[in-house]
Chains A and B, each alone.
Chain A
Amino acid sequence: MKDTKKILWTISIYNPTATAKKLEALAAEGWMFEKTGSLFWTFKRAEPKELRFAVTYFPGASDFDPDLTEGERIKAEYCAEDGWTLAGRFDIVHIYYSENANATPIDTEPVTQVNTIWKAMKKRVLPSQLSMFALIIFRLFTQFSQLQRDPVNYLSDPFYFYSIPMWTLLLFTHIVEILSCLIWKHRAVKLADQGIFLPIHTSPLVGYSLLALSLLCMLLSYTGISMSSRSVGFSLLWISVLFVILFSGNMIKAKMKKHGWPREITRFLSVTVVIVMTLSFFVGLMISVFSGNLSFTDKKEPAGTYELYGRTRTFYDDPLPLCIEDIRETTVSKWNKEARYQETPLISYHEYKQNNIPDNTTDPMDINKDLEYSITKVKIPVFFDVIKEAVLNARQDDKKVNGEIVFTDHFEPIDPSVWNADAAYQLHWSDSILDSYLVCWGNRIVEVKFYWDATEDEICKTAEILKGFGEYEEAME
């Protein structure tokens, strides 16, 4: 039979009444409070007893204190005088118990009690909540800016797609915490004047749930890049590193407290270790990614190498739904064919390119006649128009001329019948018309860029193959 047990603590530490009641119930069942924790509180087996518990606050205390401060000792002595024994402390929270059922409560004056709790909140809760709130707002602003700049890439990339819900949920977590503190203070002050103490009734469960959901979004954003062993492994590594960093900070704090280091030095060193470890991890990660030693996705093996201007280059031979050879005669025999794919519950995005690798047999007229195209599939029809508009607008590079916005690069509608499409657009740049098209077939938006003057016949063949590929994919699903 286990002599200790840990219980997930779901009562706000600012609700002294509910906390005390729960501790009393556990003591009556034979589980005596031993110590608090961030998530789990520890209880040890004891003889079942009818004890009274009281939770009180000491705003001047710190979790970095090696032992009780002078003020805390004086308060503990006053409490002992009235039959209360200090059972444990956590940061600014003190937990007392008494065997005397008629002991005078520790806090008897609601005005003072509310004032003390509010002081504790102002010192402990609000500064951290408000700084996190500001950080999250900044992150959301940068995410929305990126979404506005490149909507398709953003919404089809799981790494970005899950970022907004993740940060929004975190924002709600902090809003809930901050609002509950402010609302409680407003109501508690009024009631305290009438001699009534109002405990905080919010449950940390709301915060834990929102936090768990945002963590889920974070996991999805990493694993969703591709469900490859590499990205899942990276997610696990990232979570492990987070735990190691937090564990190291806590361990250093605990060791320094045990050896009686002053509060300021313990705080400085513990925080410094967490910051240095976090920065080191990120710097190491960035160096590994940029040097090519680490990739979030499974590394694609090149099909071979070739020499160009004295440098060795790699080429790929990915399967493409449409190749240049399918629509025109060419003397090129060697190609670099690359396909990229990313998907979220909202959008799937395929990007293809085919570049020629010239050799002695290539007709000079065929050099640089490349092809690039992308297929964006909007999975939820209600978003189709919004995304199509965003894709069209993304091409509209603008500049200000005499205070007027002039589009230098934009799509203009063309007759869709050549493409056998619902809608078709051609890219214009300044006074020129380019060989880049945007075509809509059902829920798919396809962008095609020919690196030559495509003929109507070539366009018809392109349309036939790409439309057919889309229909084939739909049928396969």
Chain B
Amino acid sequence: MARTRFKTLTEQMFYILLCMKEECRGMDILETVRNMTGGRVNIGSGTLYDLLEQFVEEEIIAETRTEGRRRSYIITEKGKAMLAGEYERLRRQTADYNMIFGGEQNK
């Protein structure tokens, strides 16, 4: 794929990983992200399932518990590093924006 898999995170990937700082049930992520973003980011249930599968496969998150079909996950060190990398990319993007438009905004 043109986008090297998970080299950059989409907004939905970013928020799913963010939810997993602490152990989190897959099912709860949809609601958590909605609340966290004030409804700005809506993750589809199919997308969530597919991403969780892919994240586990790539060891970005780890499965911690299975109760029936309810599974819980937590972010791994690899996942944290990816999240940090994405944060750094977004921070630089913000800094660049501020460098160009920051002065105008302060006026």
Contact = CB atoms under 8 A, between A and B. Distances in A.
A107 B48 CA distance: 8
Contacts of A124: none
Interface residues of A, number: 31
Contacts of A195: 10
Contacts of B42: 104, 108
Contacts of A77: 27, 69
A134 interface: no
Interface string B38-63: 00001111111111011000000000
Nearest to A84: B45
B14 to A, nearest CB: 11
Contacts of B27: 77-78, 81
B79 interface: no
B12 A104 contact: no
A390 interface: no
A109 B49 contact: no
B2 A70 contact: no
A73 to B, nearest CB: 6
A78 B71 contact: no
Interface string A59-79: 000000000001101110111
Contacts of A104: 30, 42-45
A190 B53 contact: no
A71 B53 contact: yes
Nearest to A185: B1
Contact of B10 (A56, A79, A82, A109): A109
Interface in B1-55: 1-3, 10, 12-13, 26-27, 30, 42-51, 53-54
Residue from B27, B51, B53 having most chain A Cβ neighbours under 10 A: B53
A332 interface: no
A109 B1 contact: no
The SS class assigned to the A binding surface is helix
B1 A108 contact: no
Contacts of A71: 49, 53
B74 to A, nearest CB: 18
B66 to A, nearest CB: 10
Contacts of A111: 1, 3, 10
B3 A78 contact: no
B19 to A, nearest CB: 14
Contacts, number: 82
A112 B3 CA distance: 11
Nearest to A74: B69
A215 to B, nearest CB: 37
A116 interface: yes
B47 A79 contact: no
A115 interface: yes
A107 B46 contact: yes
Contacts of A79: 45-46
Interface string A145-178: 0000000000000000000000000000000000
A105 interface: yes
B69 A70 contact: yes
Residue from A77, A109, A189, A195 having most chain B Cβ neighbours under 10 A: A109
A114 B69 CA distance: 26
B47 A109 contact: yes
Residue from B26, B46, B71 having most chain A Cβ neighbours under 10 A: B46
B1 A112 contact: no
Interface of B: 1-3, 10, 12-13, 26-27, 30, 42-51, 53-54, 69, 71
Top 8 A-B residue pairs of the complex, sorted by shortest distance between their CB atoms: A108-B44, A106-B46, A78-B45, A75-B49, A109-B47, A79-B45, A56-B46, A104-B42
Given A109-B13, A115-B1, 12 more contacts: A74-B49, A78-B26, A78-B27, A78-B49, A81-B45, A82-B44, A104-B44, A104-B45, A112-B12, A115-B54, A192-B1, A193-B2
21 contacts: A70-B69, A75-B45, A77-B69, A78-B26, A78-B30, A78-B45, A81-B27, A82-B30, A104-B42, A106-B45, A109-B13, A109-B44, A109-B51, A113-B47, A113-B50, A115-B54, A116-B50, A189-B2, A190-B2, A192-B1, A193-B3
Interface of A: 54, 56, 70-71, 73-75, 77-79, 81-82, 84, 104-109, 111-116, 118, 189-190, 192-193, 195
